[in-house]
Amino acid sequence: MAEEWHAPVERLSRRTVTLHQAIRSLMEELEAVDWYRQRADDCTDAELQALLLHNMREELEHASMLLEWLRRADPDFAWQLGTYLFSEGDILTVEERAEAGRPPDDPGPDHPGHSPR
The contact set with Fe ion (CB under 5 A) reads 29, 59, 62
Q: Which is nearer to Fe ion, 52 or 59 (CB)?
A: 59
CB of 26 to Fe ion, least distance (A): 10
Return the residue nearest Fe ion (CB atom): 62
Q: Which of 65, 31, 33, 66 shows the shortest CA–CA distance to 52?
A: 33
Q: Which is nearer to Fe ion, 20 or 62 (CB)?
A: 62
CB of 62 to Fe ion, least distance (A): 4
CB of 76 to Fe ion, least distance (A): 25
Distances in Å between the Cα of 10 and the Cα atoms of 14, 21, 35 are: 9, 15, 34
How many C-alpha atoms does 11 have within 13 Å on its Cβ side?
4
